[in-house]
Chain A
Amino acid sequence: MPYPESMRASIKKLEETRESRLNQKIPILSIDEKNQLLKEFHPDYRPGVHRELKAGVNKGDMAVVELANLLEARSTVDPNSVDLSKIELEVDTLVVGAGGAGLTAAIFSCDEGASVALATKLRLGDSNTTMAEGGINAAISPGDSPSIHYLDTMGGGNFTNIPELVRALSTDSPLAIKWLEDLGVPFDRDPDSDLPLPLLAGGHSRPRVCSVGDYTGMSIIQVLRAEVENRPIRVMEFSAVVELILDDKGQCAGAVLFDLLTRIPQVVKAKSVIIATGGIGRLHIQGFPTTNHYGATADGLIVGYRAGAKLGYLDSIQFHPTGTAYPDQLLGLLVTEVSRSRGAQLVDVNGERYINELQTRDCVASANVRQVIGRKKGITTPSGMQGVWLDTPLIDIIHGEGTVQKSYTHLYHRFKRYDIDFSKEPILIYPAQHYQNGGIITDDIGRSNVPNLYAAGEAAGGVHGRNRLGGNSLSDLFVFGRRAGIDAARRAPEIESGRLSLNHVFEYANALETAGSLTEASSPILLPDYRFEKVFPKFNQ
């Protein structure tokens, strides 16, 4: 599906201005200018997109409506139907979710001597991590340091991050790279220096993105999946968490899993549970397309909240500036930030730039929205979606012919199938839901406020504040997955679980009913529903 005639006129303008744009410098916005831009155009600031939670630990806090409705829903599996005396499996550590954080937590907990079960709703490794293109951050060049990484991350999050978590992230991520390197993850190296490629990602003041082409997440997941399979870890695929189990001392003591294939609930007793269930993109916040995988439905947040875990930043969503806007079949496909690091520019219908492309994602995404909605300078597709151009041919112009094909093999093939060669033509993009900044609040070893309940990765909140820097999510997974996994294993011998109970589920439902806030939905939803006409993408902008 090459670009139709109606879009070609604008491509011609873009080509005409290309040379004059090559050396055009656009200054970085000051903090105040940026905050003004966010307020006016970031989707988080739209009226009516949040609502107040009426019960539970976060009573009174605002949350995105789609999540709030599920947090205040009935249980998907009737807790009365679960027989807690019939224990399917008993382990030291139960890890829920098998993306980057879950695999890491399971491996480290096992190596530390714990018996480990790893439950996942889909297959081992199915996750947003697999889809991560750009890379993983670590301050491993001489001109960089953990403190520079710390400050970039804090500023990227508008100083709303939890400082202790950012400190853990910036000091542990070099360790994560060493671990992955030793496991044989084939990272790209700059051949001249044997350092990460000399590229700056948005909001980073030093090059620190370790990549494997545009397949970084997939490469890492493939390796970690093999490492889990090399260990005596009980893997439970197609087993979704539908409830956490507490004991009579109020400690977390296991989970109710639901086998999606047999539709039978299973009780797993565990001394600790690590929630690593990832993101919420498939709730389609505000109707936006998402870059997330099929299973990203906030399950861990919902069961965690019913069990009394404190959540945070629930009104803060990351919209990636460059989700694909054309063709419809690729709607929401992530176009890696590294494309901008290599010089791809954002250009409107008239062929003009409007923002420094290497600012933080919240800022660049807002600028894209401003250009399309505020200034009406977007490009419209035949289906009515609007977007702006990412001038990707600049990459080959700057770095030499063949760079696009070599560095973005995944994306290149995806667009080629629709007859778009983005080394020669630009890509039409628009912000897409990418990441939930919020989640279960933990300390710097992943412990939540509920004893023996941990969270790691995207399901946890706080380390990124209200905006995550590109590449920091992969660092987050390994840093906190490792810390949580090890801590759970070390504490296992001293933990005595009491009598298992689902009373908290009934109590929370009663509290919702009293508050008049119990919704029609049931949750966790486990799988998104794209049946029948719901398969057609929506173009909420």
Chain B
Amino acid sequence: MEALQKTDLIPVYFYGKRYDVPKMLTVLQAFEFVGYQFIRGCGCRGGVCGACAAVYIHPESHHLEVALACQMKVLAGMRIIQVPYFPVDKPGYNIDALNPTTEQVGQIYPQIYRCVACNTCTKMCPQDINVMGCISMILRGDIEGAAAASRDCVMCGLCTSRCPAEIPQFLIFLLARRLDGRFIQKPFRFLPTRLERIAAGDYEAELNALMTMDIEVLKVRYQKQQQDKQII
């Protein structure tokens, strides 16, 4: 990337202002190349935190497109803005007191019943989640399905930003995943037993022995343990 040629530059419009940037950069890097130092609009730089969500149009299309700015390369002529925050109401809930049902989700997020099935949310998802499909699943009572199908959600909020029914889809999906994890999936089978044994002090003697063992003896024991790796 050191040998940067003038011909490698393409025009892009950040918030309407034209800049010429190297075409191999991601949108996030291109903002930095022209002199931005992010406070908002940049987080993990790895496609999982949703901080850098962006909306753009491309000269060859009149459609609004979406992207995570850290994931997408710049396109010649693109007009792009970031949407690092979108206001949503966040009602509190106590997960212990919930059930994995449509009614429960509807009680916390009544907007879900207002879905007009326009599918704009799906088009707005930079993670290619079938957003409206997940909402429909929840309305049909399929919490588990919605949890699985929304697993890639980075909670950027772009779906909500254009929802005519003002549904906070990303918060609803998080609730669905939590309800699924808590009430539908089976818990780890042996975990309660292990916790009882720890509480009863069953491992104290072994741990005390390891902690006071001569370091050379400990090393031999470690080496043996590593050589006897087992899947049990």
List residues of A whose CB falls within 8 A of some B CB.
Answer: 28, 30-31, 122-123, 125-126, 130-131, 139-148, 150-152, 154-155, 159, 163-164, 167, 170-171, 174-175, 177-178, 181-187, 189, 193-196, 198-200, 203-207, 210, 212-213, 215, 217-219, 222-223, 226, 229-230, 238, 260-261, 291, 293-295, 328-329, 333-334, 358, 383, 409-410, 413-414, 417, 527, 529-537
Between A and B, 6 residue pairs with Cβ closer than 8 Å are A140-B194, A170-B207, A186-B177, A294-B38, A527-B37, A532-B33
Q: Which of A184, A206, A207, A212 contacts B179 (CB 8 A)?
A: A184
In the assembled complex, which residues on chain B have CB atoms less than 8 Å from the CB atom of A328? 1, 24
Q: Which of A154, A204, A529 contacts B37 (CB 8 A)?
A: A529
- In this complex, the member of A182, A293, A537 whose beta carbon has the largest number of chain B beta carbons within 10 angstroms is A293
In the assembled complex, which residues on chain B have CB atoms less than 8 Å from the CB atom of A205? 225-226, 228-230
* Contact present for B182 and A184 (CB under 8 Å): yes
* Contact present for A215 and B188 (CB under 8 Å): no
Q: Which of A140, A226, A414 contacts B191 (CB 8 A)?
A: A140
Please, how many angstroms separate the alpha-carbon atoms of A354 and B73 in the complex?
35
In the assembled complex, which residues on chain B have CB atoms less than 8 Å from the CB atom of A261? 39-40
Given A186-B147, A409-B151, answer yes or no on A167-B180 (Cβ-Cβ < 8 Å).
Answer: no
Please, how many angstroms separate the alpha-carbon atoms of A46 and B151 in the complex?
42
Q: Which of A143, A183, A533 contacts B230 (CB 8 A)?
A: A143
Given A178-B191, A181-B188, A410-B48, answer yes or no on A230-B228 (Cβ-Cβ < 8 Å).
Answer: no
* Contact present for A182 and B96 (CB under 8 Å): yes
* Contact present for A122 and B218 (CB under 8 Å): no
A142 — nearest CB in chain B belongs to which residue? B190
In the assembled complex, which residues on chain A have CB atoms less than 8 Å from the CB atom of B45? 293-294
Ranked 6 nearest A-B pairs via Cβ: A184-B178, A143-B232, A186-B181, A155-B222, A194-B189, A184-B182
Q: How far is the CB of A451 from chain B (nearest CB, A)?
A: 27
Interface residues of B in 148-182 (CB under 8 A from A): 151-152, 154-155, 174, 177-182
* Contact present for B210 and A147 (CB under 8 Å): yes
In the assembled complex, which residues on chain A have CB atoms less than 8 Å from the CB atom of B230? 143, 205-206
* Contact present for A200 and B229 (CB under 8 Å): yes
B193 — nearest CB in chain A belongs to which residue? A142
Please, how many angstroms separate the alpha-carbon atoms of A528 and B154 in the complex?
23
In the assembled complex, which residues on chain A have CB atoms less than 8 Å from the CB atom of B29? 329, 530, 535
Question: Would you call B87 an interface residue if the criterion is a C-beta within 8 Å of the partner chain's C-beta atoms?
Answer: no
In the assembled complex, which residues on chain A have CB atoms less than 8 Å from the CB atom of B228? 205
In the assembled complex, which residues on chain B have CB atoms less than 8 Å from the CB atom of A260? 39
In the assembled complex, which residues on chain B have CB atoms less than 8 Å from the CB atom of A204? 229
Given A219-B177, A410-B48, answer yes or no on A177-B191 (Cβ-Cβ < 8 Å).
Answer: yes
Please, how many angstroms separate the alpha-carbon atoms of A30 and B230 in the complex?
18
In the assembled complex, which residues on chain B have CB atoms less than 8 Å from the CB atom of A146? 198, 203, 207
* Contact present for A151 and B218 (CB under 8 Å): yes
Interface residues of B in 186-209 (CB under 8 A from A): 186-195, 198, 203, 206-207
Please, how many angstroms separate the alpha-carbon atoms of A174 and B190 in the complex?
10
In the assembled complex, which residues on chain A have CB atoms less than 8 Å from the CB atom of B46? 131, 291, 293, 333-334
* Contact present for A229 and B90 (CB under 8 Å): yes
Given A122-B51, A195-B189, A230-B93, answer yes or no on A223-B225 (Cβ-Cβ < 8 Å).
Answer: no
Question: Would you call B7 an interface residue if the criterion is a C-beta within 8 Å of the partner chain's C-beta atoms?
Answer: no
Please, how many angstroms separate the alpha-carbon atoms of A213 and B29 in the complex?
28
Given A159-B218, A174-B191, A215-B152, answer yes or no on A184-B223 (Cβ-Cβ < 8 Å).
Answer: no
Please, how many angstroms separate the alpha-carbon atoms of A220 and B111 in the complex?
26
B30 — nearest CB in chain A belongs to which residue? A535
Please, how many angstroms separate the alpha-carbon atoms of A175 and B142 in the complex?
30
In the assembled complex, which residues on chain B have CB atoms less than 8 Å from the CB atom of A182? 95-96, 182
Q: Which of A139, A194, A293, A295 contacts B187 (CB 8 A)?
A: A194
B171 — nearest CB in chain A belongs to which residue? A226
Q: Which of B32, B190, B206, B225 contacts A140 (CB 8 A)?
A: B190
Please, how many angstroms separate the alpha-carbon atoms of A195 and B188 in the complex?
5
* Contact present for B48 and A155 (CB under 8 Å): no
* Contact present for B32 and A535 (CB under 8 Å): yes
A534 — nearest CB in chain B belongs to which residue? B32
- In this complex, the member of A206, A294, A533 whose beta carbon has the largest number of chain B beta carbons within 10 angstroms is A294
Q: How far is the CB of B231 from chain A (nearest CB, A)?
A: 5
Please, how many angstroms separate the alpha-carbon atoms of A206 and B226 in the complex?
9
* Contact present for B231 and A196 (CB under 8 Å): no
Q: How far is the CB of B61 from chain A (nearest CB, A)?
A: 19
- In this complex, the member of B49, B94, B147, B225 whose beta carbon has the largest number of chain A beta carbons within 10 angstroms is B49
Please, how many angstroms separate the alpha-carbon atoms of A219 and B155 in the complex?
11
* Contact present for A175 and B73 (CB under 8 Å): no
* Contact present for B43 and A122 (CB under 8 Å): yes
* Contact present for A183 and B51 (CB under 8 Å): no
* Contact present for A147 and B207 (CB under 8 Å): yes
Please, how many angstroms separate the alpha-carbon atoms of A325 and B116 in the complex?
45
* Contact present for B178 and A230 (CB under 8 Å): no
Using A182-B182, A530-B32 as known contacts, list a sample of 11 further A-B pairs with CB atoms less than 8 Å apart, ordered by residue number in A: A122-B51, A125-B49, A142-B190, A145-B203, A146-B207, A155-B226, A177-B191, A194-B186, A206-B230, A329-B29, A531-B33
* Contact present for A206 and B219 (CB under 8 Å): no
Please, how many angstroms separate the alpha-carbon atoms of A143 and B231 in the complex?
8
Interface residues of B in 26-72 (CB under 8 A from A): 26, 29, 32-33, 35-40, 42-49, 51, 71-72
Question: Would you call B221 an interface residue if the criterion is a C-beta within 8 Å of the partner chain's C-beta atoms?
Answer: yes
In the assembled complex, which residues on chain B have CB atoms less than 8 Å from the CB atom of A143? 230, 232
* Contact present for A154 and B222 (CB under 8 Å): yes
Please, how many angstroms separate the alpha-carbon atoms of A126 and B155 in the complex?
12
* Contact present for B95 and A181 (CB under 8 Å): no
* Contact present for A413 and B152 (CB under 8 Å): yes
Q: How far is the CB of A456 from chain B (nearest CB, A)?
A: 20
In the assembled complex, which residues on chain A have CB atoms less than 8 Å from the CB atom of B178? 183-186, 223, 226
Question: Would you call B107 an interface residue if the criterion is a C-beta within 8 Å of the partner chain's C-beta atoms?
Answer: no
Please, how many angstroms separate the alpha-carbon atoms of A123 and B39 in the complex?
10
In the assembled complex, which residues on chain B have CB atoms less than 8 Å from the CB atom of A334? 46
In the assembled complex, which residues on chain B have CB atoms less than 8 Å from the CB atom of A537? 1
In the assembled complex, which residues on chain B have CB atoms less than 8 Å from the CB atom of A195? 188-190
Given A174-B191, A183-B95, A184-B182, answer yes or no on A531-B44 (Cβ-Cβ < 8 Å).
Answer: no
* Contact present for A151 and B73 (CB under 8 Å): no
Q: How far is the CB of B39 from chain A (nearest CB, A)?
A: 5
In the assembled complex, which residues on chain A have CB atoms less than 8 Å from the CB atom of B90? 226, 229
Question: Would you call B75 an interface residue if the criterion is a C-beta within 8 Å of the partner chain's C-beta atoms?
Answer: no
Q: How far is the CB of A152 from chain B (nearest CB, A)?
A: 7
* Contact present for A527 and B39 (CB under 8 Å): yes
In the assembled complex, which residues on chain A have CB atoms less than 8 Å from the CB atom of B222? 31, 151-152, 154-155
Q: How far is the CB of A3 from chain B (nearest CB, A)?
A: 16
Q: How far is the CB of A172 from chain B (nearest CB, A)?
A: 8
Please, how many angstroms separate the alpha-carbon atoms of A31 and B215 in the complex?
13
* Contact present for B210 and A151 (CB under 8 Å): yes
Please, how many angstroms separate the alpha-carbon atoms of A410 and B68 in the complex?
13
In the assembled complex, which residues on chain B have CB atoms less than 8 Å from the CB atom of A193? 189
